[in-house]
Amino acid sequence: MKKKIPVKVITYIFLAFIAILVIFPIYVTFATAFKTTEESTKNFFSWPQNIYIGNFVKVMADAHFWDYIKNSFLITVISVVVTGIMIPMVSFSIARLMRKYKYFKILYFVFVLSLFAPFQVLMVPLTQLCTKLGLMNQAGIILIYCAFALGQGVFLFVGYYKSIPVELEEAAVIDGCTTTQTFFKIVFPLAKPMTMTVIILNTLWIWNDFLLPLLILNKSASNWTLPLYQYNFKSAYTFDYNLAFASFMFSIVPMIIMYICLQKNIIEGLTAGAVKS
Amino acid sequence: MKTKNKMTRKEKILLSWTIIPLALYTLFFIVPVAMGINYSFTDWNGLTQTYNYNGIANFISLFTSKRILNSLAFTGKYTFFLVIIIMFLAMLFTILLTYVVSTRLRTFFRSVIFFPVVLSLVTVGLVWNQIMYRVLPQLGQMLGIGWLSSNILGDPKTAMWGVIFVNVWQGVAVPFVILLAGIQNVPTDLYEAAKIDGATPFKLFTKITIPFLIPTINVAFVMVLKSGITVFDYIQAMTAGGPMRSTESAGVLIYELAFTDSKAGQASAYAFLLLIIIALISVLQMKVSSKVEVGQL
């Protein structure tokens, strides 16, 4: 019994240290964003004595500032909504017909294949392709996200549909439902937990993505997303890091709010996404 | 085509649902992969309309170019330490939270440790870049720690560790929650049976917990391995491959070759090498995990 107490004490001290290490950069971001340059030069660690919003005013004065917010928001929402309907539908076709027709089985393996490809392979050709097709813009990147989301989404959904009994669908057909009605009234509601998982995985990925916007949207500032804007202003803010931290707040705060609201779903979703793929 | 005539109305509707996804996937995945393979056999610079085929010259250059070999060595070293540190910490957190910490605090610590996952890799890199540039040197001087008194990212000897630290800060979360979920799925009746047989807690852990966790460890391990091999965002945001190319990873160099150095052909060949490495790891993982599962049954 005597031995147990020190182990506990050391564990809690260690974990408290880890917790501080996790929160520290977030604290610094908040504190610095609300301080003037003079105040943070004096003491980087202190909480701002007077809340100074001048940094935010300056960041928002950027001619394209609202474009970055709008782009990030629209690209994420449209891609997530489209994939949130398209993936459940195509996965349903595959799950129900892959044992009967070769086409669906091959389709499944072709989609899942993309999980193995590192993005570097697609970098050069994708840029070339989008230039030729005139898709170096928001519409182009949305189409690409929809295509890239298929691999993991189809993999997760096909596995999930196997657990939904076919008898329910047959009963709905007897009651006079068409195939489309059966899907949307019976199957889609039953698959809600998996839809939630896929939506969370895709939202985090698309909102936070950097490499694809860097390739497709970097040419004109009016096309930038928030991560791209922060990256491009890295050098512009070298001398005014309070501004840099204020700009980080715009992508961190929405995610903190989302994490607080949907924490359980996010942890479960990412665990499921990782374990099953 | 025989099957098509036999298809019922329902099956035709389901078939129509696959058309748009397949078209998107073909255009943005299959076509680009094919284009990339084609480019890797050319001297294309990424800008002109024309290019010449040069056989396997690009692939030979992967093993003769000093810069490429340097980036391969860096990526290997980076991945090695990343995997060791993340797996060790993820396992440590899992053990501490499962066996030492009370249930209420377990939920709290899990939430805190997991939080960085929701942030953008590039934002995390930029925030830490500022901290390492401005805050840590101040702290180092205050505490009189030599190596901390100057920017760690500015020195070729320490820059890699700065990036690894940030990658671990964010990257430990998912392996950790996977292991935590895995350890809670170990059937408790096995523990009780072993306890009756007089097994020590250490024996319980090594003989029951670890074998049950192996498939989960395998998943987490391969995930971290792949993320290390393809690392890009953190480096681009923190050091851009510098100082003096000391942090130039494969992912960063492929980007540089393609878009800065006008060597799209060589970049494609290098990307293809990465694809082969990742594919081999995935195949190996599937073989190992299927064996483990068979062994358990």
- CATH number, domain of A212, equals 1.10.3720.10
Instruction: Specify burial of residue B167 (Cβ count, 10 A radius: 0-12, 13-18, 19+).
Output: buried
Question: Residues of B with CB below 8 A from A8's CB?
Answer: 100
Among B2, B8, B18, B47, which would you mutate to test the A interface (most chain A Cβ atoms within 10 Å of its Cβ)?
A: B18
Q: Are residues A209 and A264 in the same domain?
A: yes
User: Is A150 in the same domain as A29?
Assistant: no
Is A104's CB within 8 Å of B18's CB? yes
User: So what's the pLDDT on residue A236?
Assistant: 60
Residues A162 and A26 in one domain: no
* pLDDT per position as a tens digit, A80-119: 999 999 999 999 999 999 999 999 999 999 998 888 888 8
Percent of chain B surpassing pLDDT 90: 41
- Kindly report, residue by residue over B232-260, the tens digit of the pLDDT: 989 988 888 878 888 999 999 999 999 88
Q: Tell me if A46 is assigned to some domain.
A: yes
- Complex ipTM more than 0.90, yes or no: no
Mean pLDDT across chain A, nearest whole number? Answer: 87
Residues A33 and A116 both lie in one domain: no
> How far is the alpha carbon of B134 from chain A, nearest alpha carbon, in Å?
9
For residue B268, the distance in angstroms to the closest alpha carbon of chain A comes to 7
Same domain, A37 and A94: no
How confident is the model at residue A188, as a pLDDT? 93
- Is residue A21 domain-shared with residue A141, that is, in the same domain? no
B/e letters for A187-198, b = 16+ CB within 10 Å, e = fewer, are beeebeebbbbb
Sequential DSSP letters for A120-177: HHHHHHHHHHHHHHT--SHHHHHHHHHHHTHHHHHHHHHHHHTTS-HHHHHHHHHTT-
What is chain B's alpha carbon radius of gyration, rounded to the nearest angstrom? Answer: 24
Whole-number pLDDT of residue B2: 46
Residues A157 and A178 in one domain: yes
Sequence-ordered strand ranges (E) for A173-244: none
| Residue type at A80 in one-letter notation | V
Residue range B278-295, pLDDT digits in tens = 989 988 888 877 766 554
Q: How far apart are CA A33 and CA A157, in angstroms?
A: 42
Q: Nearest CA of chain B to the CA of A52: how many Å? A: 20
Residue A18's domain comprises 4-52
- Is B211's pLDDT higher than 90? no
Same domain, yes or no: A107 and A188: yes
At A154, the amino acid letter reads V
The confidence score (pLDDT) of residue A274 equals 73
A251 touches chain B (CB under 8 A): yes
The whole-angstrom distance between residue B72's C-alpha and the CA centroid of its chain comes to 15
Encode pLDDT of A187-197 as tens digits. 999 999 899 98
- Per-residue confidence band for B297, with pLDDT thresholds at 50, 70 and 90: very low
Is A275 at the interface with chain B, CB within 8 A? Answer: yes
Same domain (yes/no): A93, A169: yes
Residues A24 and A88 both lie in one domain: no
Whether A76 and A46 share a structural domain: no
Over residues A62-86, the mean pLDDT reads 93
Tell me which residue has tokens 């929160």.
Answer: A23
Tell whether A193 and A259 lie within a shared domain: yes
A57 part of a folded domain: no
Tell me how many domains chain A contains.
Answer: 2
Average pLDDT, chain B: 87
**Which domains occur in chain B, in start order?**
2-39 (no CATH), 57-296 (1.10.3720.10)
Residue from B3, B29, B252 to probe the interface with A (highest A Cβ count within 10 Å)? B29
Instruction: Please tell me if residue A270 touches chain B, with a CB cutoff of 8 Å.
Output: yes
* A142 — pLDDT class (breaks 50, 70, 90): very high
Q: Please give the structure tokens belonging to residue A25.
A: 């950069």
**Is residue A185 assigned to a domain?**
yes
